[in-house]
Structure 1
Amino acid sequence: SSVLIQGDTGTGKGMIASAIHYHSINHRGPFVQVNCAAIPENLLESELFGHVKGAFTGAIDDRTGRFEQAHRGTLFLDEIGELSPGMQAKLLRVVEEKQFEKVGGSKTVKVDVRIIAATNKQIEQIVKDNQFRRDLFYRLNIIPIKVPPLRERMEDVSLLVDHFIEKFSYKMGKDIKAMTPEVLDIFMRYPWPGNVRELESVMEFAFIQCNDDYLGS
């Protein structure tokens, strides 16, 4: 079933999408991410669905799109609220029929993909304002998840600190065991306006600076 995650920028929607994938029946399949807001409109269709050689100027080879790459896995569509009406219509068809044609192609490509979509917009409102298709919203919103800002779930800070210690220990080849209680207390009282993304950046910087067994010692 499709999942729709709503939350402010930096609240960890991508982490949640990844966790859903790796704890699902599709966990052995690929987890493919696309930021719909980061790709120009004229390139997004090719990015999602691929293209055939000669489809447009510069299409010198066939290209596999993200939907095909995510076959038997999960496609995470971030910032879904930024899609144009035309792209919304094309996405709706794939969600409903599980098939599409590449840009410039006539052959139908069938895919088995779970879609996890995310947005930092109040999507119910943009549906009411006719900026987002109601039928597509209902198709994506099978399992809705609303992620509050980090300041409203401060109990998660210590869990996220542990997660980032594990992540950056592996990434940087350091054996940092934990964060000192004094620094953790500061973290627990800070409002984190940049949400999980800000916390991750602070943790990464702390790791770069740390040469001890404990962060903050």
Structure 2
Amino acid sequence: MSKVKDAVTLAMLLVAIVFSAGLLTLPEYSSAGLDLPGLSSAAPEGETYRPNVTSPPVSSVAPPAVTPEPLYTERDVEMLAKTIWAEARGVPSDAEKAAVAWCALNRLDAGTYGETLAEVLTTPWQFAYYESSPVTPELEALARDVLERWQAEQRGAEGVGRTLPEDYFFFEGDGLRNHFRKTYEKTGATWDWSLPDPYGEAAV
């Protein structure tokens, strides 16, 4: 029995030596016609062999979403708050205070009253903007709120909570309230505050 094992071991050793010396090779087979993933025929002469497989994606993790740049600045918030203070600080309704800001933004969107909000607010004889006007926390928050709503609208949102339609560009006060108009001429037609109040209080 020991002799048989020795003979088998010797035979295997000889086969290994023959293969390693290149004296015996296996026949070549083509993968053509075989449904074996990852196999392909040898590449044509002079070309690099590439497996016939689709490489998996490098990462399945989605790239982080890019946050768009804001459409307004902190300076815009400050200037708008100062304008609301000068034009509507005595008006009890936040919706009516916000309308001053919307009127300025309507002019900005129209493109004929200034290319920036600062230009719209500082055009002579238009808005009561004064650099010395205070920026109260309440009016700063209101100005920022309107600018956020306006920004959302600029990016395609609907029903953002306007308190003044986009075609109103003028207003004047009577000491208690502001009355907003579409035209410079006083035709008697003023905004009736019929939009839903986003601040939860009826305009008075």
Question: What TM-score do you get using the length of structure 1 for normalisation?
Answer: 0.19
Please say which structure displays the higher CA radius of gyration. Answer: 2
User: RCO higher in 1 or 2 (8 Å CA, sep ≥ 6)?
Assistant: 1
Structure with greater proportional helix content: 1
